[in-house]
Structure 1
Amino acid sequence: MGKYNFARNRNKIQTKISTIEYIIVFLNKFSVFLYLNLNTIIMVLEHLISVREIRKKPYKIFILSIISTLIAILLTNFLSQNGLFLTFLITLAILPITINNLRLEEKREKYDFFWNYFYSLNFIYRHSEIIVYYLSIIFSIALTISFFYLILPPEISTKIFSNQIQIISQITGNFSSKEIFSKILLNNLFVVSICFIFSLFYSTGAIFLITWNATVLGIAVGQGARQLFGIPSIPLVLLSYLPHGIFEFLGYVFAGIAGGILSIAITRHKENKKHKLFVLKDSVLLFFVGVGFIIIGAIVESFLI
């Protein structure tokens, strides 16, 4: 009887191993297809989802970001690359639609009726569409990364997400609340400043940093979910990061938008001083509100959680 149970258990183990091997082979073959047709796939995604549709239905950029992240994970594994390369691929996939989003805004700014409408809105509502756009990208990437961190074999997930795992290990340890606060605040203020500067020189420049931080959040959520109940725990763990995470990401997004609209004000509104001054004020306000969010997030993470 004991030999029979041993043989049966061995067969089960072999079946599981074979299933995993088949999955890995399939993923590798699918990755080859994606690698050979990457440009075509990106172009198809752009045509399927227009910027105007995304503004009316933000869930579409959420879906697009999930697809982009999935493709990036498969290609990163196929090419035996790490987390930085993964972030680059995700950025590459969502950058065209982000640029088109900005171009649509520039077209609208040519008309007086747009400015009359723009002046009539309150500060937050003026930029609500682009804020929702970035937040949709952040949370879709984080959810997708955490899901694949859990379902992929450990040796593959450790390789693909190596940079993110390293960053998380560096910010965890035995520190006092004041030390944690200083470390978190200085790091996040640095990221906010870089987001602003990158966007100032290139309007969509902050998208890489925002994507990178979204992947780090995804790994943190995945690690937390693994300690609980696995995949079903992902929403719960993500919610546990929201009290401070939402402030941090809003800080990054606001700084990115601030740099982007300041870049537009400098290059597009040289002749119209009224528009230029208005956008300049909005840019400064967005940046300092973003810094305020970062400070609040650091306080919540260090002293309240």
Structure 2
Amino acid sequence: MVLEGLLNPLKAEKSPWEMFFIGFAYSSVAILLSLWIFRDQASMVMVLLIVMAAIPVMYSVIKLEESKDMEASQESKLLKEHNKAISFLMYLFLGIMVSSLFWYVVLPADTVSVLFQKQSATLQAVNGNPATGNAVSQLAAFSLVFLNNVKVLAFAILFALVYGAGAIFILTWNATVIGTAIGNFVRTNIDHYVTTIGIVGENSYFHIVSIGLLRYALHGIPEIAAYFYGALAGGILSVAIIRKHYRTPHFRTVMMDFSELVMIAIAFLLAAAFLEVYVTPVLF
């Protein structure tokens, strides 16, 4: 209850950056508790604990956005209001991701292998079939990445529709996976610096972390934004159905809003897939 009461969504939309620290706190507490109590299953338990802490905030945001649908007179104004919620949730996601990255880097290797076991296995499966450089393979990779992301988006919408704030589970899982990926990149390169140079200065740490963040943020930010748009769309529709707003004339506004949010999400996924397949390999 203490963590749940740290922030009021109504106030947080005015200063969404505060959610970064809330997300970091949620994740850090979950990591420490999972290692302390459920060490052997810590990689999944920490995700569940983060979700438990974040669900009240997520649900409050969804209810707030659905109420805006009932009051909105212009769709453009409504989308602008929704963007505040997306910003709010993105900072929460970044806080969870950076926390995962931080603990991946600072904890001992044997603890990291237990804490991020499932996340590391997921990354190994994803990276098992790297694309080659020719145009046909890149197009196939683009299609594969895009369709896989659409599948995740569909699950986010479905979870939000069925469970209300349930999409936070998928988003939290992705935050820990991305944090693990960046953390692994940082640790690997730090080990390389130590092996070749013998010491790692502050500039080297900053350089490695910056490259790691940029490498995944380039396509990760639009991808995660898409999932949040989808989760918000499903959540708004879920709340509207629960409140029986489908019996009112305003339900048409809800459905239009749902459709537009999903289309925005798909557009973000197209951009994310393009960046991941065609841009990131060139830069990194």
> Does TM-score exceed 0.5, indicating one fold?
yes
Question: How much has 1:219 moved relative to structure 2?
Answer: 0.7
C-alpha distance 238-124 of structure 1, shift in aligned 2 (>3 A): farther
Give, in whole Å, the separation in 2 of the partners of 1:91 and 1:284.
Answer: 26
Aligned pair partner of 2:53 in 64, 89, 93 = 93
Give, in whole Å, the separation in 1 of the partners of 2:62 and 2:78.
Answer: 18
Give, in whole Å, the separation in 2 of the partners of 1:257 and 1:106.
Answer: 9
Contact 1:146/1:234 (8 A) holds in 2:
no
Aligned pair partner of 2:131 in 159, 162, 175 = 175
Instruction: Give runs of aligned pairs for residues 1-305 of structure 1, distance below 5 A.
Output: 43-78=1-36, 79-80=38-39, 81-105=41-65, 114-116=71-73, 119=74, 121-122=76-77, 124-173=79-128, 174-176=130-132, 177-229=138-190, 232=206, 233-268=208-243, 269-273=245-249, 275-305=250-280
Question: How much has 1:52 moved relative to structure 2?
Answer: 2.4
Give, in whole Å, the separation in 2 of the partners of 1:200 and 1:155.
Answer: 39
Normalised TM-score (structure 1)? 0.77
How much identity, in percent, do the aligned residues show?
Answer: 30
Question: How much has 1:108 moved relative to structure 2?
Answer: 6.1
The aligned amino acid for 2:110 is E
C-alpha distance 46-88 of structure 1, shift in aligned 2 (>3 A): closer
The aligned amino acid for 1:270 is Y
Larger radius of gyration: 1
Give, in whole Å, the separation in 1 of the partners of 2:46 and 2:19.
Answer: 19
C-alpha distance 185-68 of structure 1, shift in aligned 2 (>3 A): same
Greater CA deviation, 125-134 or 261-270? 261-270
Contact 2:219/2:273 (8 A) holds in 1:
yes
Give, in whole Å, the separation in 1 of the partners of 2:107 and 2:276.
Answer: 30
Once the two structures are superposed, what CA deviation does each residue of 1:104-144 show, in whole Å capped at 9, x if it has no partner?
4456667xxx434xx26445313112101221111111111
The aligned amino acid for 1:77 is L
Give, in whole Å, the separation in 1 of the partners of 2:42 and 2:140.
Answer: 30
Give, in whole Å, the separation in 1 of the partners of 2:279 and 2:246.
Answer: 46
Instruction: Say what the alpha-carbon RMSD is for the aligned residues.
Output: 2.1
Contact 2:227/2:265 (8 A) holds in 1:
yes
The aligned amino acid for 2:33 is L
Normalised TM-score (structure 2)? 0.83
Give, in whole Å, the separation in 2 of the partners of 1:47 and 1:242.
Answer: 30
Alignment: residue pair count = 257
The secondary structure found in structure 2 opposite 1:135 is helix
